[in-house]
A and B are shown apart, each in its own frame.
Chain A
Amino acid sequence: MTTISTILEITDLTKFFGGLGAVRNFDLTLKKGDLNGLIGPNGAGKTTVFNLITGIYEPTAGDIVFNNTSIVGLEPFEITRLGIARTFQNIRLFSNLTVLDNVRIAYHPHTKYGMADGILHNRKFDIHEKELTEKAQEFLAIFGLENLQNEIAKNLPYGQQRRVEIARALACEPRLLLLDEPAAGMNPREILELMDLIHFIHDRFDLTILLIEHQMRVVMGICKFITVMDFGQVIARGTPKEIQENERVIEAYLGKGAGHAA
C-alpha cells in the first residue's frame, strides 16, 4: 500500500437497546488495504457493530466516518452504494433465485439502464443487460461457480452458498467488505479454502476487509490486526501475537483465573 489513508473511522460508537448497552464507546480505525479482525465471546456486540456500520441499526451516539463522510443516519442501501458491502452470519441468499440472479441483483445499483428502458426492452436495455450479465458471470467465474449459475441458490451445499454470498457482496463493488463469521459451520478443508479465498479477494480487488470470526485459526492466520470486544466494549487491540498473550482476552474467553493458570 502506497497511500496510508483512513477509510473507516468509528468514534465513541454506542448503541442501547432499551437499557441494555449492546455497544459502548467503541472505537475502530481502518486504513485502506487493511485486513483486520473483530473477535469476542458470544454476545459481545460484534454483529451489532456490523449492523451499525451498514445502517441496519441507528447508533445511540457516536460517529462513523467512511471516506471522509459521516454515514450515520443514511439508509442501508445508500451506505452500500457508497462502497460498504457485507455478508451475514446466517447466510442470507435470495434462496429461491438462481446463483446468477443473486449476483445480478447485487449489481443492480450499477445498472446503466432505467426502468423505462426495462419496460420497453429497447436497444439500450439489451446492451447493458448483456454487459451486466457478463459482469456477474465474471464474478462467478472468479469463485469457480460458473457452472452453477443456473442452480437455485438454496440447493447448493453450504460451503458454496458462502462463496455465492461473498461473490454477491463483491458484485456491489465495495471498497470495504465486512465478513460476519465466514467460516461458521465449515469443515477444516473448507476453512483452508476460505482463508485462501479471503487473501485472494483482498489482493485482487484491492479491498479493505474487516471480519468477525470465532475460529481462532482463521483470525490468527489471516488478520494483521485484531480488535477484541467483550460486553460491548473494546478490551484489547493488537497483532495476533499480542492478542494471544493478552490476559484480559484469555480471561474473557476462558473465565477468571484461567489467565494465571496459563
Chain B
Amino acid sequence: MKKKAIGRFGLILSLLLMSSSFMVMGCQSKGGGIGASDAASQVYVRPGTHDKFYAFLSGGFNGQLLVYGLPSTRLLKMIPVFTVGAENGYGHSEETKALLNTSFGFIPWGDSHHPQLSKTHGVPDGRWVFINENNTPRIARINLKTFETEEIIEIPNSGGNHPSPFITQDSEYLLAGTRFSVPIPNVDTPYKDYKEKFKGTMSFIRADKPGKMEVEFQILLPGFDYDIARAGKGPSHGWFFVSCYNTEQSPTWKERNASKNDKDYIAAINWKKAKGCVAAGKAKNMPATYYHNYMDPGSRIAKSVKKTSVKVLSPDDCPGIVYYLPTPKSPHGVNVDPTGEYIVGSGKLSAAFTVHSFSKMIKAIENKAFSKTVYGIPVIKYEAVMAGEVQGGMKKPVCLGPLHTEFDGKGYAYTSCFLSNNVIKWKLGEWKVVDQIRTYYNIGHLMIPGGDSSKPFGKYLIAMNKTTKDRFLPTGPELAHAGQLIDISGEKMKLLSEFPELGEPHYAQALPAELVEPNSLRIYKLKENTHPHAVKSEKEALAKGKNGVVRDGNTVHIYLTTIRSHFKPDNIEGVKMGDTVYFHVTNLEQDWDVPHGFAIMGNQNVELLIMPGETRSTKWIPQKAGVYPFYCTDFCSALHQEMQGYVRVSG
C-alpha cells in the first residue's frame, strides 16, 4: 500500500518536474491575499518615514547584494560585491579593483547566493553581512556602517561555493563547503576516477576579525555534492549541519544519476572537536593558492595578499568529527530551529521531509547506533536520529519539492515548496501542517527577519520566487524575479505585497532597522584620509608637480579636488600621447550626501563616484591628441553643469 502510494507519487512528481507547473494551483484564484486596502495599509510607509527592517537579498547571477526596506519593499541600494559596479567604479577604480583578484586573476563577475548577518549570542547584531560567491569560491564581508564590500577571501580546494557562508552563533566561523567535488589537489583527472580522486571540503573561515578573514582549516570529505549548511546553536553550538546529495558519486547526468538513492545525508560536523585536532597538529599543511583582499579603512585602498598553503584535516586523523544523518531524498535546505534541537532536512524529491533531533543524535553517537560507515564516517541509524516527518505529501495541504525552512520563534516553522508553489506553516514537535499560502511561482528560498537565528524577529516572510510569468507588466523574455511579502504575525499567513527583484535573490537576511540605522556613516573624514594620493585642499592639489600634474616617465598622475561646484585644477596641460594617466580625485566635501563624480571623454574605463572625504583614482590612456572634457557626473548643486574641465593631450 505504502509502496504503491510512493510509486504513484513518483509519477506525479516527475510530471510536475517536467512542467515545473501550475497543476496544483490550477483552480486557485490568482489574486491571493487579504482585502487590498487592509494589505496596503500594512505595507504603506509614509513618505519621509523609514521602514522597520533592513532586508538584504542576494543578487544571484548579478553577483551583488540588494538592500530593501520592509515592509515597503522599497529598493534602497544595490551593493556591488562580486561583480564590477559601473555606477561607482567598484572593481574598476584603482582602489577597489584588488578586491576582485583571485588565483585565476581579476574576475569581473560572480554569482552571489546567501547573505549572512554577523551574530552575537545567536542574534543578528548589525555589524556586517557576509555573502558567498558560488562560481569562483569566495566570501565577501560588507560593512554595515558603509554598506560597502570591504573584504573578500577566496576558498581553496573548493569547486562551487554553495553551502556558504553559514555563520556560528557568535560569528567565530563561517562555513564554506564545496558544491561540486573536485580532485584535490585539482590536477588533470579522468572522470572515471571520480570516486577515488574527487573530494569535498568544508572550510572554516575566521569571521569575527574585520580585515583578517582567514581559512583557518579545512575538513576533507567524500566526493559528494554539498548543498546548504547551518551552524548549530544553543545546545548544538559547536556543530555544523550540511546537506549532501549525489551520494551516488556520479560525475555525469546528475539530474538522473544523483537522484537514485532513497536517502542521502546531512553531515553533522563537530567543528569544535576539529578545531582541537587542528590545534593538536593533526591537520596537514597543503600547498594551495588563494587570495585574501581587504580594504584599508584609512586609505580605502584594497590590497591583495596571495596565500600559499592551507591546513587540511582528514576525518581519518580525527575520528568523531563527522557523522552522517540519513535524510530522504537529495536534501536541499538544512535548517536548525531557534532552540538548536531540531535539524530540518528538506528532501527536495521526497514526499515527506525529515526533522532530526540533536539530542537523539548525541545519544545515538554515544550508543554507537550506526547502520554502516561510508569512507570511514559513521552513518547513524535513521530511526535513532529522526524526530519526526512533516507530511506534506498527497494529503492537503500539499508541500511538494520542499526546499528551505525558516522559523518565527513562536514554535512554528515555514517551509518553501518549489513544486506546489506554496509555503506551509507547521508546528515544531507536532510536525503538523497548520496553514499554507500560495506563492507565485516556484518559490526557492524564503526569509523571516532573524528567521535562522536563536531569536527570530518574526512579523514578515519574504517568498523569493524563481519564475514570474504574468505577475508584472511584461518586459520581453527576461522578467524580474518576483518577491512576495507575507504577514506571519497572525494565525493565518496573509499575502501583503509583491515586488520585482534584481538578479535572482537566492537567500536573504533581515533585521530591525535600529540595529543598523544609527551606525550608518554619512561622510568619510577628510582629515583621516590616508590615501597616498589624497590632497586635502585645492592649494595642495595645485602644488603637486606642475599645477597638479606630476610626470613619472610615461606615467602621469593628475591630482584633482572636487568641491561645489568645481574641479581644481580644471585646465590640465602636460599630458602627451603614449602616456598612462591616473586621475586621483579627492572630494573635499564634508557634507552629507554630496558625492561628486568624474568622467572623461573616450575613457575605456568607467566613471568614479567619490564620497565626501574620499580619494578615488582611475586610469586613462588617451587615444589621440586633442582636448578632452571631463565633468562631474553626480548632480551636486545648482551649478553642477558648470562643474567641468579639460585635459589637453599633446602629440
**A and B associate in one complex:** no
Binding site for A on B (CB under 8 A): none
- A positions within 8 Å CB-CB of B: none
